């Protein structure tokens, strides 16, 4: 199992997104249908011990940063216990969480104690009725309380607020999000709408690009771009007067595939080398059949070597994966 992970295009792979469940308590329009999706059976989902073993192995062969996702990770019973298990793995530099925030007020202290270092909270509107329109849940006040609860723990930094940018919707939200970024410690980030929605309603013209948003913001608030790590997904700016930061993640209009360093592990133990992968590598089957670390590492290295060069969203003949975002893991 010697040497760090590299794919066939020379990229070093060091970032892992782990979906701990496909279940979610929201029904966001860009993610799943209003009626939800068929959930995995409990025995299909990796146990905490299985997740910890795979993460430990992946860290041993080169993974440094781990982000826990869903579905909605906080609906998984005992989730802070998993965080503590992963937090004990030597070699993880950064243990982070992406959540819709609905249960964050309940779990904030347990997550901070267990070892979560960074949190991203998905908030697509700061207006209660419009938040309901997107998520199909009247939950904005509870999500905002969750943000405040996790921000009360200084060891959890940064706390980021992620908003999916959708044309004819997000334009009305920009001013409020700017004020949130300027008046709090939260970094607000706009993420371009990607073709992973459950309703399959995505169209290229439904994407409100990061450049359009940035231009609209700069008409009111001048921005200064901050230095960017090569594998970073966001272009981050600070307000020129020093009041807060705002970021733009532009996978559709400005793909960052050339510097991609990420893998994804689904809730049922499939390794995905791209958000838009059309193939997966099963790790649960060999794991439960008694495969040793060397055998599992070989499967992982082979999959990583075949990692896609790019996602091809903007190219003719693009084929979206069968899975939607909630079933992949954000």
Look at residue 258 in the predicted model and tell me its pLDDT: 85
d(CA 287, CA 289): 5
Q: Which residues, other chains included, contact 130 with Cβ-Cβ below 8 Å and sequence gap of 6+?
A: 169, 172, 173
d(CA 101, CA 121): 6
Instruction: Say if 287 falls within a structural domain.
Output: yes
C-beta of residue 72 within 8 angstroms of C-beta of residue 102: yes
pLDDT band at 198; cut points 50, 70, 90: low
Instruction: Say if 30 falls within a structural domain.
Output: yes
| Closest among 209, 190, 230, 189 to 313, alpha carbons compared | 209
Instruction: Say if 4 falls within a structural domain.
Output: no
Instruction: Say if 10 falls within a structural domain.
Output: no
Domain count of the fold of the chain: 1
**Predicted TM-score (pTM) of this structure:** 0.93
Instruction: Say if 8 falls within a structural domain.
Output: no
Token pair 């700016």 is at which residue?
Answer: 237
Q: Say how many C-beta atoms besides its own lie within 10 A of residue 319's C-beta.
A: 9
pLDDT band at 317; cut points 50, 70, 90: low
Token pair 């590492």 is at which residue?
Answer: 297
pLDDT at 75 over 80: yes
Instruction: Say if 7 falls within a structural domain.
Output: no
Residue 318 vs residue 102, higher pLDDT = 102
Instruction: Say if 321 falls within a structural domain.
Output: yes
Instruction: Say if 208 falls within a structural domain.
Output: yes
d(CA 46, CA 52): 10
Q: Say how many C-beta atoms besides its own lie within 10 A of residue 115's C-beta.
A: 18
Cα–Cα distances (Å) from 197 to 28, 47, 58, 207, 267, in that order, read 9, 27, 29, 13, 18
The residue-averaged pLDDT of 232-241 equals 94
Q: Give the domain range for residue 170.
A: 15-328
Residue 279 vs residue 320, higher pLDDT = 279
Residue 169 vs residue 255, higher pLDDT = 169
| Per-position DSSP letters for 32-61, written without gaps between them | S-TT--PPPPGGGSPPHHHHHHHHHHHHHT
Look at residue 299 in the predicted model and tell me its pLDDT: 97
Look at residue 315 in the predicted model and tell me its pLDDT: 54
For 282, the token pair is 């099963």
d(CA 22, CA 202): 21
| Closest among 251, 161, 186, 250 to 212, alpha carbons compared | 250
CATH for 100: 3.20.20.70
């Amino acid at each position: 199992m010697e040497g760090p992970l590299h794919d066939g295009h020379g990229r070093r792979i060091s970032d892992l997104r782990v979906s701990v469940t496909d279940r979610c308590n929201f029904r966001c329009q860009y993610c799943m249908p209003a009626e939800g999706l068929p959930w995995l059976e409990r025995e299909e989902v990796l146990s905490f011990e299985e997740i910890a073993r795979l993460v430990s192995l992946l860290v041993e062969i080169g993974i440094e940063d781990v982000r826990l996702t869903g579905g909605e990770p906080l609906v998984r019973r005992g989730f802070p216990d998993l965080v503590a298990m992963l937090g004990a793995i030597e070699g993880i530099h950064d243990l982070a969480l992406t959540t819709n925030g609905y249960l964050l007020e309940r779990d904030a202290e347990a997550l901070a104690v267990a070892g979560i270092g960074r949190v991203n909270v998905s908030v697509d509107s700061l207006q209660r009725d419009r938040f309901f329109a997107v998520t199909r849940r009247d939950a904005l006040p509870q999500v905002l309380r969750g943000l405040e609860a996790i921000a009360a723990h200084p060891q959890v930094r940064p706390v980021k607020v992620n908003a999916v940018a959708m044309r004819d919707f997000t334009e009305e939200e920009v001013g409020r999000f700017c004020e949130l970024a300027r008046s709090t410690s939260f970094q607000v980030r706009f993420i371009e709408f990607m073709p992973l929605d459950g309703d399959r309603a995505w169209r290229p013209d439904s994407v409100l690009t990061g450049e359009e948003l940035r231009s609209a913001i700069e008409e009111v608030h001048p921005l200064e771009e901050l230095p960017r790590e090569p594998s970073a997904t966001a272009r981050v700016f600070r307000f020129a007067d020093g009041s807060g930061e705002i970021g733009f993640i532009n996978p559709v209009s400005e793909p960052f595939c050339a510097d991609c360093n990420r893998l994804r592990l689904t809730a049922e133990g499939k390794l995905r080398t791209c958000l838009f992968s059309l193939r997966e590598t099963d790790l649960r089957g060999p794991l439960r059949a008694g495969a040793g670390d060397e055998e599992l590492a070989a499967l992982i290295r082979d999959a990583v070597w075949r990692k896609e060069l790019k996602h091809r969203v903007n190219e003719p003949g693009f084929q979206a994966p069968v899975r939607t975002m909630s079933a992949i893991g954000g």
